[in-house]
Structure 1
Amino acid sequence: MASSYSYPELFLAGFIFTLPFLYEKSNVFRYYLKFFLYYVYVFITCTILLPVVLLYPRDVTNLIVASRFCRYASYIVGIEWELRGLENWDNEECFIVISNHQSSLDILGMFEMWPRMKRCTVVAKRPLMYAGAFGFGAWLSGLVFIDRLKTDTARQLMKKATERVVREKTKLWIFPEGARFNKGCIQPFKKGAFYLAIDAQIPIMPVVFSQYYFLDSQSKTFEPGKVIITTLPPIPTKGMTRNDLEALSDMARQQMIEVFNDSSKDLARQIKVAV
């Protein structure tokens, strides 16, 4: 008796049945699948939320709404977040927020924090602006997109963004390392964030993500894991001039390195106790 199933149907059924085996046995498959599910979930959520954020274009509080839904991507990929120092967000001041940058997963940690951060936006690379519904939704939510290759234009955009930060009492989140780096340390900082803070005489707010021990792009490892995010007390810049820029940058980076090392060790102890 001839089979009632076509070859494509049989192939699809076989592929579906092998998925659990591949997920369990292949680091590479698990790595790419988790990132795929993360991006697809955020993309679909942003698409659904577009009519909502269109009501308030370029309003940074749209990010609070988006975060309430996008944060569930953390459960899909198996990341737990522990938030420390949230009391430092309990004010209406404007800040230049700086943090280390290890992966595109950082945005999931930020989604956990946005309801507490309230009025906070982010400096992002311009190509993200063209990432479909995500990019359009991010632009509608007040993100500042800059082209790092066009230095003069980028500086003008950052200056305007800082003026808006002061005017609307908002926080501006910048990754001063300039690129993602997940090798167990914090890279030297570019100076843009510190120029802005000194020129506007507004505080620097350091935020530190502990090491992503569960993630390795070289070996294509992406296991379930936990991250500690620590918000440090603001560093005032009142009275500082550009002559103080180097000292301010070094001070902030040194504080962040100490917290990065301590929180990463704390996380290692938690894992050891759990095992």
Structure 2
Amino acid sequence: MSSLFELFVVTLILALPFLYETNKVFRYYLKFFVYYGVVLVNSLLVLPIMAWRPQDVKNLILASSMCRFISGLVGLKWELRGQDLLEKQQACVIVANHQSSLDILGMFEMWPVMEKCTVVAKKELFYAWPFGLAAWLCGLIFIDRLNTDQARQTINKATLNLKEKQIKMWVFPEGTRHNTGTIMPFKKGAFHVAIMGQIPVLPVVFSSYYFLNSETKEFNPGRIIVTALPPISTKSLTPQDVESLMNRTRECMLDVFDKTSAEVLTSTLPTPMYQ
């Protein structure tokens, strides 16, 4: 019986590289399995360390340092532009386009640069332990998206802490993930926070995830350009300016998204053998 089991294991191991190279569906699920699996294991490993300084955003630097290698495992290369804007120690609201859970891998590349940055996340994420507990220890802000008043109170309270401790707050203003080749309309919450706190909005743009398709189950190697844009001041703005600020931010992000997406797509095209 044991010999049959050993034969099965050996056969399975030998078949994995073949399946990976020839079956795109297998490759798609395997990459996400590796991604989520490593994050969950690392979440368990860092819990005892993070418990010594609970809800400290600098815990995210430790978490990111242990997870950055995942990008190499799944074939992703990140290129950060505008690093100096993220390095500046200031309270601000970072707004970024949201295409996939892979965005977190890009954020792992950026946390050592940003140093102090928290994230607004849906409260359901907290219950996905051990990751949710690790996220809480890292100072993430969990909100109930179905309870607008309570969510607003939670963020308003957090904004005072941001200003006092010079912490950045990362928000995905589209609300949910959309890998559609564009940036979807924004929700107003992040811009209300920026204006009420009189802190700048700092746009961050991830180029298109051309390598990923959840419908056809494709997850190929890819290059992503992440661009930090100059902060947009909210000084002297009032709640009546929320929509104009939101539209202005989205327009500048769309322009950069289109340009950087075209750049990465061009760089992936095969070079002609004959000119």
Q: TM-score normalised by the shorter chain: which range applies?
A: over 0.9
1:235-256 C-alpha deviation (Å, 9 max, x unpaired): 0000000111111000000000
Query: In the alignment, which residue of structure 1 is the partner of 2:195?
Result: 198
Query: In the alignment, which residue of structure 1 is the partner of 2:105?
Result: 108
* Higher deviation after alignment, 72-81 or 123-132: 123-132
Paired residue secondary structure (2:104) = helix
Query: In the alignment, which residue of structure 1 is the partner of 2:178?
Result: 181
Paired residue secondary structure (1:43) = helix
Q: CA deviation at 1:123?
A: 0.6
Between the aligned partners of 1:77 and 1:90, the Cα distance in structure 2 is 27
Query: In the alignment, which residue of structure 1 is the partner of 2:265?
Result: 268
Going from structure 1 to structure 2, the CA distance change for 1:38 and 1:4 (only over 3 Å counts) comes to closer
Q: CA deviation at 1:202?
A: 0.5
Given residue 5 of structure 1, which amino acid in structure 2 is its aligned partner?
A: S
TM-score in terms of structure 2 length: 0.95
Between the aligned partners of 1:272 and 1:30, the Cα distance in structure 2 is 22
Query: In the alignment, which residue of structure 2 is the partner of 1:51?
Result: 48
Given residue 211 of structure 1, which amino acid in structure 2 is its aligned partner?
A: S
Q: CA deviation at 1:180?
A: 0.2
Given residue 3 of structure 2, which amino acid in structure 1 is its aligned partner?
A: Y
- Given that 2:87 and 2:115 are in contact with CA atoms closer than 8 Å, whether structure 1 keeps it comes out as no
Between the aligned partners of 1:165 and 1:274, the Cα distance in structure 2 is 48
| Cα root mean square deviation, aligned | 1.4
Find out whether 1:231 has 2:240 as its counterpart. Answer: no
Between the aligned partners of 2:9 and 2:269, the Cα distance in structure 1 is 41
Query: In the alignment, which residue of structure 1 is the partner of 2:19?
Result: 22
Query: In the alignment, which residue of structure 1 is the partner of 2:3?
Result: 5
Find out whether 1:75 has 2:72 as its counterpart. Answer: yes
Between the aligned partners of 1:181 and 1:12, the Cα distance in structure 2 is 39
Q: 2:248 aligns with which of 238, 251, 267?
A: 251
Paired residue secondary structure (2:72) = helix
Find out whether 1:145 has 2:142 as its counterpart. Answer: yes
TM-score in terms of structure 1 length: 0.95
Query: In the alignment, which residue of structure 2 is the partner of 1:38?
Result: 35
Note the residue ranges of structure 2 that are not aligned, 5 or more in a row.
none
Q: CA deviation at 1:90?
A: 3.0
Percent of aligned positions that are identical: 52
Note the residue ranges of structure 1 that are not aligned, 5 or more in a row.
none
- Given that 2:203 and 2:230 are in contact with CA atoms closer than 8 Å, whether structure 1 keeps it comes out as yes
Between the aligned partners of 2:8 and 2:154, the Cα distance in structure 1 is 51
Runs of 4+ in 1 over 4 A off after TM superposition: none
Given residue 140 of structure 1, which amino acid in structure 2 is its aligned partner?
A: L
Paired residue secondary structure (1:5) = helix
Aligned pair count?
272
Find out whether 1:171 has 2:171 as its counterpart. Answer: no
Given residue 145 of structure 1, which amino acid in structure 2 is its aligned partner?
A: F
Find out whether 1:218 has 2:215 as its counterpart. Answer: yes
Query: In the alignment, which residue of structure 1 is the partner of 2:87?
Result: 90
